[in-house]
Structure 1
């Protein structure tokens, strides 16, 4: 008897709700019930956007829980998942999206500016769904904090104003924690006595302004890096300078 991956997930959940279905980095465990609930939420969101049976939905995500949620959500709707390598660049992505006539793409928020740039070259692409974040992995991850903010583009008059306002917000946050000498140096950089304590990058996609920031709350030396797994090109120089 023919069935679908979405139906298999439903059946599996009924049989073993409390069993662990996924284990991700850091030992994070997700039960079958949690997995199915998150998949259903994602599927409902896609349905509300108008994704239907037979539609192609591209997935540009690394190995994170959202990839699994996205993949199974697409299956439940009878749509077709089109996952591809997150290392692909503009022309490669344009070719894939046009070749499959993707109606939507689910991607890391870090790729917002890239997708915004190529979107005019993909006529079929109606929706851009951003999720997750991937920047740097340090030997001591507790010494860093990642902050993400999403605003309606109308909230800022320009990108320059956005950088200035976000810089002021981050400075006020640091000062509230007792870092009195924090100051906003220039586009995307917060410093204390010449030492960088935060970097951020702002991207615009459709009618949204997405802010990704990386704050160093502990002593940071380049020889303390365990591994750089991926750094958005637009923030790489700012983080490593």
Structure 2
């Protein structure tokens, strides 16, 4: 288990799991054994400069490149600027950007000075930011100017934020600190803070079925371990590789694919702001992407929107694709392999576990009907959700995982207890079957989470917002199967007396959700109904609604 005999400055001990409910970490692979003192920013940037790779391209963005030496200077300047503003070791710093170099620079700078980077999804609204920032007790927000509005809307409710730093790229007026001015005036050399391997480096928020976001915390050791297990063994990167794709950096999946993995191996990352399928193909051609990272929806969109993609673009640099966020179907696997000549590695990972822990390896015998095997460094077993007893192969049950990363929540002791077994195995919340050949086959989520185009959407959170509308009496939200998105959000809605259902009302309800929550959470379908199915105790039978959608 994690050693909590010391505490990182400015990290309240009571906000972290104690030894009774923390995961039991194991480190069976030699690469995941780290010295007591280690700093992830030094490992991902400074080490390459010191070892003679300073001229390697670290980041491709549009028509610009940033070498490791240039990235180091930017990180050092930003780290000094943050320290000059009073940011200290252990402080949480919100980093709110689309996929741009400033996001990587800021996260690494925060980590280099011993702080905790908290990347924020760009679509979050003020109401969502209120809770996350206050719960994390963040002191500073660094934000792209085009995403500033929701931060400013949230500011009156933020209890701990002392400074806002704005990257001015679109001419948005503001009266906060200027990102560029701070970097220009800051010193370009920075000694890394003496972080311990178990110090927090990264915090990512995920919403569960209760709709209340949960902060998943990750140490310097955990961040590095995702690269030194999954990436090292399943992808085998070299410094010639270029990682690219469209997962947002604040997703655990995107942070690993586009930050940790390439920078761990002295490779390059290709960033595309708000990438469409066409943008990704252009980046493959222009940046020489070799490891293409997306979700099944993204790969399907490339296939459907660009049927002649391999002829229109030079995709000869591609060697493997990574897929996560929702199950990858064998059809998508086979179609993409036929068109682009590469395997897509399906993987299961969670925000809490930080990255993929079940996958095939790029050069192995890939069965697209299964997710794969436990990643080297991890152990998986299937347990009875009621008894916790391990099940025989071929039996469906709850997935339990143990490895160098694990489920640790910030200030959520009740969820922590639910997410770890008594003997320290983490419970991601998925139903799996382990086949006789050892492969693990995904069955379903064990809760009400709707997974649409890779986004995790808690149904009850959407329900609470829809119920705010005066025309709505009751509502139940479930996932409805969708060919391209995997699932879409569907709302079964009972209207208040006297209200007439029509298309105008549908649009009104949808817009209300878009204006209150991240827009991807809105119900793409609304079905008006006279009543909702309920149990004898009055609970809505969402299972019945989901089964109805599956069979329709």
Q: TM-score, normalised by structure 1?
A: 0.55
What corresponds to 2:88 in structure 1? 52
Partners of 2:61 and 2:176 in 1: how far apart? 31
Structure 2 residue corresponding to 1:114, chosen from 138, 142, 150:
150
- Higher radius of gyration, 1 or 2: 2
Q: Which string of whole-angstrom CA distances, capped at 9 and with x for unpartnered residues, describes residues 6-41 of structure 1? A: 221211121211111111123x21101000000000
What corresponds to 1:11 in structure 2? 47
Give 5+ residue unaligned stretches, structure 1: 134-145, 149-201, 209-227, 234-241
Count the aligned residue pairs: 145
Partners of 1:206 and 1:60 in 2: how far apart? 15
Q: For 1:1-241, what aligned pairs fall within 5 Å after superposition? A: 1-2=35-36, 3-8=38-43, 9-15=45-51, 16-26=53-63, 28-133=64-169, 148=171, 203-205=173-175, 229=274
Higher relative CO (Cα under 8 Å, sequence separation at least 6) belongs to: 1
Partners of 1:206 and 1:118 in 2: how far apart? 15
Q: Which string of whole-angstrom CA distances, capped at 9 and with x for unpartnered residues, describes residues 50-87 of structure 1? A: 00000000011111010111010001110000102101
Q: Which has the higher helix share?
A: 1
Partners of 1:113 and 1:204 in 2: how far apart? 10
Q: Which string of whole-angstrom CA distances, capped at 9 and with x for unpartnered residues, describes residues 94-146 of structure 1? A: 1110110010011111233332221120110001010153xxxxxxxxxxxx6
Alpha-carbon distance, 1:204 to partner:
3.7
Pairwise CA RMSD of aligned residues? 2.4
What corresponds to 2:533 in structure 1? none
Q: TM-score, normalised by structure 2?
A: 0.25
**Cα gap change, 1:74 to 1:207, in 2 (>3 Å):** closer
Alpha-carbon distance, 1:229 to partner:
4.9
Give 5+ residue unaligned stretches, structure 2: 1-34, 179-272, 276-514, 516-552
**Conserved in 2, the CA contact under 8 Å of 1:112 and 1:205?**
no
Structure 1 stretches of 4+ moved >6 Å: none
**Conserved in 1, the CA contact under 8 Å of 2:99 and 2:274?**
no
Q: Which has the higher strand share?
A: 1
Partners of 1:49 and 1:207 in 2: how far apart? 10
Partners of 2:129 and 2:84 in 1: how far apart? 25
What corresponds to 1:158 in structure 2? none
